[in-house]
Amino acid sequence: MRDEASIALAAVNRVVQKARLLNEVGACVLGTISVLVILNLPGVLAELRQRHHNVNLTIRQNISGHIIDAVINGEMDAGFVIGDVSNKQLEVMPIAPVVLCIVGPWAWRNNIQSADWSDITKFPWISTRDKCSFSAIAQQFFARNNVTPVPSMMADQERTLTELLCLEMGLTLMREDLALSAQDSQQVYIWPKEKTVSQLCFIWAKNREVSPVVMALIESVKTLWDVHN
């Protein structure tokens, strides 16, 4: 009878623990890059609510470098970023490739179409801040092709980049999905010669893996993007 009672008590304890988790409000701060379309955030949140019913989720938009710093410093629990990430305090989950291309104003399309790499450096270049992943991606792209464009101005939001292109302020690096949409509306023209590929990643702080809501968020992202460890 003692053995049977122990089994029954253990089962009761498991039920109590599950009930507490269902009633516990999980808090999590999630960092997102400026354009949410590629993140499928509604899908992530729907999947998260199925896994953890009581979630107090705060979403903060920023550029990739600031999201990485915030997760390391404990200001955020997890986040979506573009580019290579390497830090011992972080876990990194690559979830989708991101194609980037060089674009310029629609009015410059004839000159851009015929340009080679040496011509690209003669156009004014719109750069991004160091904390923006596009800065490092552009530098690596240029280095592989032995060119060094000289920045004429700087921006850190993709919407601002599009506006500057419409004002014919220069060329810049842009996500292909945004560039194709802007080209369809004759706002920008995509340089047809070469593109580069980076990675959309989901990152989280290793010391936050004990949080049920953080683990639920990780599993939600894995499910939505069909990521297998």
What is the mean pLDDT of the segment spanning 174-189?
93
The answer to whether residues 160 and 115 belong to one domain is: yes
Per residue in 50-102, pLDDT (tens digit) is 877 677 788 899 999 999 999 999 999 999 999 999 899 999 999 999 999 99
Number of domains in the chain: 2
* CA-wise closest residue to 102 among 198, 38, 177, 193: 193
C-alpha torsion 74→78→82→86, nearest 10:
60
Spatial separation of the C-alpha atoms in residues 116 and 134, rounded to whole Å: 21
Please name which of 131, 40, 27, 147 lies closest in space to residue 139, comparing C-alpha atoms: 147
Q: Are residues 48 and 122 in the same domain?
A: no
Distance of alpha carbon 38 from alpha carbon 83, whole angstroms: 14
- What is the model's pLDDT at position 74? 92
What's the CATH number where 65 sits?
3.40.190.10
Has residue 47 got a pLDDT over 60?
A: yes
pLDDT of residue 130: 87
> Within this chain, do residues 178 and 205 fall inside the same structural domain, yes or no?
no
For residue 90, what is the enclosing H or E element? strand 90-105
How do residues 113-168 score in pLDDT, each as one tens digit? 999 999 999 999 999 988 889 999 999 999 999 999 889 999 877 778 889 999 99
- What dihedral do alpha carbons 218, 220, 226, 229 form, nearest 10°? 30
Q: Which domain holds residue 70?
A: 2-96+200-225
